[in-house]
Amino acid sequence: MGSTKGEVRSTRRQPSPTPGLVIGLVLTLAAVAGYSVYLSRQVAGLEVLQRDLVDRTRRDSLALLRIQNNLNQLGLAMRDMLEGHQPYPLSAWRAQFDRIRTDLDDALARSNEGRATMGSEREHLTFLLTDLWAAADRTFALSEAGAEAEARAQVELSLTARQASAGTAVARLLFENNAEEAEAAAQVQAIYANVQREVWWFLGALLLVLAATGSYAIRANRRVFAELAALSERRRELAQQLIATRESTLRHLARELHDDLGQVLTAIGAMVGRTVRQLPEDSAARADLREVVEVAQGALTNVRTLAQTLHPSILEELGLDSTIAWYVETAGRQLGLQIDYERAGNVDAVESGVAIHIYRVLQEALSNVARHAGTRDVQVRLRHDGRLITLEIEDHGTGFRTDGPGRPGLGVVTMRERAELVGGRLEIEVPPGGGTLVRLSVSQ
């Protein structure tokens, strides 16, 4: 009972590795897809940050530089206004002030564009510029009224101070803007560092998953190949047992036919012969009994031929060469083939355990030629060079393919099994002239 349970356990089917591999593949693909989504969001966030912060900060810096440039031009204009040798009244600079004012207002509007709130510094700058232009309007009004001295004093005491204050405010905004740009660059760098770190973590996790999946696949493949090797070994053992059983059965049948049925036919022939000799020469029964003797003799010959075909006793008695020569002649008559037999080397030195399988391969190959080749001419070659025994059966008939769709015939499978049993190799090729070449090679 214990051995039976052990056999049941040993033949129990192992689970297929496919579900585990599929799960590993799904997990890997899910991880790749999830991380791709995460990485896409990180990159999208980086783009938004660059667009909303970096790009805006750079545009703001350009606008502030434009404001600063306008204020510098305004300062140069006021310096020219205060020079004593100028022959023009201060009102002559109104057109230049208006151009600077228009460009400065546009730059200020661009600087404040896209901001929900301007902040205290920007509000202060707006106030300073408004106050500056109000003072400039008063100054030009005085000049146009003819109060040049009072207008020049207004430029020197009021406009210059307001221009300087506005310039200071712009400088502070540029400093803040540069600080915001540096902060945005730091945030971008932090995002890059975070993405890089996440990439390394993901690659590490992916490598672990791949290593686990690969390890599982390797173990599963080892188990599958071990099972295949065990199945192949059991199949080989079963094939050996089947072939051995077949040979034993054929040997028993051949012996029974040769000994029992053959002896019976021999006895019948002898008894009928004695009866024939006892009858008169002119007796009608004498002729009939002679026909019986001839029939019995023919049946005895056929029984002995069949017994030799089933199991050639001459293989142990005369050797492989004589057995093949006898079978080639017999098969030629029975199968209607013209067989050319060639031998080389000491083929009778082949062991009987190997010789019987060579003989069986020859039987099967000649039977296939008779059934499928569509030709009557066959060449049989047997060589033994001291270490390698080679049997070749070649015909130039229709031939057949062994690499096409479908399963090979039972005869081909049996020949391969016999070749493996004796440690040999069976090859089926197409010779140069077409047809089929069956080659059995056995090392000895």
For residues 126-132, give the mean pLDDT.
Answer: 87
What does the mean pLDDT of the chain come to? Answer: 78
Alpha carbons 181 and 436: distance in angstroms, whole number: 85
- Largest interatomic CA distance in the chain: 186
- Number of domains observed in the structure of the chain: 2
Alpha carbons 130 and 125: distance in angstroms, whole number: 9
For residues 403-425, give the mean pLDDT.
Answer: 72
In a domain, 228, yes or no: no
**Cβ contacts of residue 65 below 8 Å, gap of 6+?**
174
Alpha carbons 80 and 156: distance in angstroms, whole number: 11
In a domain, 44, yes or no: yes
Tokens, residue 93: 């600079």
Alpha carbons 324 and 308: distance in angstroms, whole number: 12
For residues 9-24, give the mean pLDDT.
Answer: 60
Res 258 pLDDT > 60: no
Res 9 pLDDT > 70: no
Alpha carbons 388 and 350: distance in angstroms, whole number: 10
Q: Which of 175, 202, 217 is the last residue of a domain?
A: 217
Alpha carbons 398 and 196: distance in angstroms, whole number: 68
Query: What range does the domain containing 86 cover?
Result: 18-217
For residues 6-26, give the mean pLDDT.
Answer: 59
> Tokens 């564009």, residue?
113
Alpha carbons 163 and 168: distance in angstroms, whole number: 9
Query: Count of CB atoms within 10 A of residue 369's CB?
Result: 25
384 phi and psi angles, rounded to 5 deg: -140, 110
Could you report the per-residue pLDDT of 308-334, keeping only the tens digit for each? Answer: 666 666 677 778 888 888 888 888 888
207 & 319 share domain: no
Confidence of residue 11 (pLDDT cuts 50, 70, 90): very low
In a domain, 346, yes or no: yes
Res 39 pLDDT > 60: yes
In a domain, 247, yes or no: no
In a domain, 48, yes or no: yes
In a domain, 282, yes or no: no
34 & 169 share domain: yes
345 & 207 share domain: no
Alpha carbons 371 and 354: distance in angstroms, whole number: 26
- Count the helix, strand and coil residues of the chain and give each as a percent rounded to the nearest 5: 75, 10, 15
In a domain, 304, yes or no: no
Q: Model-level pTM greater than 0.95?
A: no
DSSP track, 146-177: T-HHHHHHHIIIIIHHHHHHHHHHHHHHHHHH
Q: Which of 196, 217, 238 is the last residue of a domain?
A: 217
In a domain, 249, yes or no: no
Q: What percent of the chain has pLDDT over 70?
A: 81
392 - beta bridge partners?
A: 381, 439
CATH number at residue 140: 1.20.1330
User: What is the sign of the dihedral through the CA atoms of 318, 319, 325 and 331?
Assistant: positive
User: What is the sign of the dihedral through the CA atoms of 401, 404, 409 and 414?
Assistant: positive
Between 258 and 173, residue with greater pLDDT: 173
206 & 344 share domain: no
Q: What is the pLDDT of residue 380?
A: 92
Res 407 pLDDT > 60: no
Q: Considering only 321-325, 396-400, 413-417, which range has the smallest mean pLDDT?
A: 396-400
Q: Which of 160, 182, 217 is the last residue of a domain?
A: 217
162 & 27 share domain: yes
